[in-house]
């Protein structure tokens, strides 16, 4: 096993050096200004609800992704500051930390004629919540002074799940113009467009998401609510996270929790088993929604005013995104924090032990718990 790992490391280093010989070493030159390299290059600033965003327009640029932490935008072997994206251990970093400065662009360069709009980031890009909040809103930013009809290619995360295609279809993005970043990790194009991240521009994701701009939530509602399909409507729904692709935030005493909720008249829903349009319809029609912290609750973006939300959260978990959505949509929100866990593996995964006494109390007077956290 050790020999195999050593050989893999040698193999990677060899190809990194080989591609540096082919494409050159990547630099971060403070004196390099992409605007001076070509009259077609532009840096437009647009404002949405008092938030300012950059839109980069760069001729003959390259874009490279490692699919994990880094997106590099390169012109004449120079990284273009602020056009690149580095997220390491949930923190947005400066360009000096971009992997391309050390390892180059170790993939064969694919040339594409025409205009390309890049809508990619780190490994989180395929996650349902990040897809809605991080990837799609870039279209809104771009369209402030551009038209998507002019774009020849959209560089997007791999379309692995049905919600990818459903949302793009609603947004009128032609599938024959989509390039997967997994198959196109290193591209050179005639004209590259890149926008700022819609909300995560600095610091830790957990600290920044509580400040997510209201316009993102409103834009998502505007684009998708009219496409809701009301199938198997229930006024009380429980989002079951047991089928999550990410093995964390699982409810340890799930059988007891479900027994209680079932007796309260809840319907159990697994998001992976219904279409995105059905999810919108369910969340918009329900009066009370209960679930563990995770992407499955993201659809509360589409909930109507005064919907009751109960989130089960891990102990010492700082993510307050659902509280933020509740404030924007005027929802009655309560976070029930997990009881202390003695099992280290559960603590590391952020699993949840729901206090049934607190859960019962939560149902005694739902209207009284607007935006509260109970530990």
Query: The CATH number of the domain where 283 resides is what?
Result: 3.40.50
Q: Are residues 185 and 241 in the same domain?
A: no
Same domain for 39 and 175, yes or no, is yes
Domain match, 245 and 341 both:
yes
pLDDT digits (tens, 9 = 90+) for 224-236: 999 999 766 789 9
State the Cα–Cα distance between residues 82 and 151, nearest whole angstrom.
22
**192/281 same-domain check:** no
CA angle (78, 80, 82) in 5-degree steps: 155
Supply the range of the domain harboring residue 305: 228-374
Is 305 part of a structural domain of the chain?
yes
What per-residue confidence (pLDDT) applies to 351? 87
34 shares its domain with 176: yes
194 & 308 share domain: no
Same domain, 160 and 237: no
Task: State the pLDDT at residue 307.
Answer: 95
Q: Tens digits of per-residue pLDDT, 279-297?
A: 999 999 999 999 988 888 9
197: in domain? yes
CA distance 311 to 309: 6
Residue of 70, 83, 71 whose CA lies nearest to 33: 83
Q: How far apart are CA 303 and CA 283, in angstroms?
A: 5
User: How many separate domains does the chain show?
Assistant: 2
Please state the pTM of the whole predicted model. 0.92
Task: Quote the Cα angle for 110-112-116, to 5°.
Answer: 115
* Structure confidence at residue 190 (pLDDT): 98
Per the rule left: phi > 0, alpha: psi between -120 and 50, beta: everything else, 67 is left
Q: What is the rounded distance in angstroms from the CA atom of residue 134 to the CA atom of residue 247? A: 22
In a domain, 6, yes or no: no
Query: For residue 359, is it within any domain?
Result: yes
Q: Is 156 within 8 Å of 178 (Cβ atoms)?
A: yes
Question: In this structure, are 232 and 202 located in the same domain?
Answer: no
Contacts of 33 (CB under 8 A, 6+ apart): none
pLDDT on residue 1: 65
Q: Are 46 and 53 in contact (CB under 8 A)?
A: yes
Q: What is the pLDDT of residue 78?
A: 98
Residues 88 and 234 in one domain: no
Tens-level pLDDT at each residue, the chain (375 residues) = 678 787 788 888 888 999 999 999 999 999 999 999 999 999 999 999 999 999 999 999 999 999 999 999 999 999 999 999 999 999 999 999 999 999 999 999 999 999 999 999 998 888 999 999 999 999 999 999 999 999 999 999 999 999 999 999 999 999 999 999 999 999 999 999 999 999 999 999 888 999 999 999 999 999 999 999 976 678 999 999 776 666 667 888 889 999 999 999 999 998 888 999 999 999 999 999 999 888 889 999 999 999 999 998 888 777 789 999 999 999 999 998 887 766 555 555 678 898 889 999 888 766 555 545 554
């Amino acid at each position: 096993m050790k020999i195999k790992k050593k050989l893999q490391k040698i193999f990677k280093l060899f190809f990194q050096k080989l591609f540096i010989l082919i494409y050159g070493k990547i630099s971060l030159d403070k004196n390099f200004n992409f605007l001076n390299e070509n009259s077609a290059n532009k840096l437009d600033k647009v404002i949405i609800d008092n938030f300012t965003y950059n839109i980069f327009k760069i001729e003959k640029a390259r874009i490279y992704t490692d699919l994990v932490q880094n997106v590099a935008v390169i012109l004449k072997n120079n990284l273009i500051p602020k056009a690149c994206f580095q997220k390491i251990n949930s923190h947005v970093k400066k360009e000096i930390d971009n992997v391309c400065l050390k390892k180059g662009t170790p993939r064969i360069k694919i040339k594409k004629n025409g205009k390309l709009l890049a809508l990619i980031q780190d490994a989180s890009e395929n996650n349902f919540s990040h897809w809605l909040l991080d990837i799609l809103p870039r279209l809104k930013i771009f369209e402030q002074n551009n038209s998507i009809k002019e774009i020849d290619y959209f560089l997007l995360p791999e379309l692995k799940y049905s919600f990818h295609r459903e949302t793009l279809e609603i947004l009128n993005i032609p599938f024959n113009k989509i390039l997967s970043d997994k198959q196109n990790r290193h591209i050179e194009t005639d004209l590259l467009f890149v926008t700022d991240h819609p909300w995560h521009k600095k610091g830790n994701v957990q600290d920044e998401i509580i400040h997510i701009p209201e316009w993102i939530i409103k834009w998502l509602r505007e684009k998708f609510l009219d496409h809701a399909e009301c199938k198997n409507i229930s006024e009380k729904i429980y989002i079951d996270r047991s089928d999550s692709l990410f093995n964390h935030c699982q409810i340890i005493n799930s059988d007891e929790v479900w027994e209680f909720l079932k007796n309260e008249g809840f319907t159990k829903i697994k998001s992976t088993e219904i279409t995105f349009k059905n999810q919108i319809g369910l969340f918009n029609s329900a009066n009370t929604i209960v679930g563990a912290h995770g992407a499955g609750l993201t659809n509360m973006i589409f909930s109507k005013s005064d919907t009751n939300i109960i989130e089960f959260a891990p102990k010492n978990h700082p993510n307050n995104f659902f509280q933020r959505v509740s404030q924007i949509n005027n929802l009655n929100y309560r976070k029930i924090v997990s009881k202390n866990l003695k099992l280290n593996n559960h603590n590391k995964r952020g699993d949840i032990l729901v206090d049934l006494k607190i859960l019962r109390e939560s149902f005694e007077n739902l209207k009284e718990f607007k935006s509260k956290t109970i530990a």
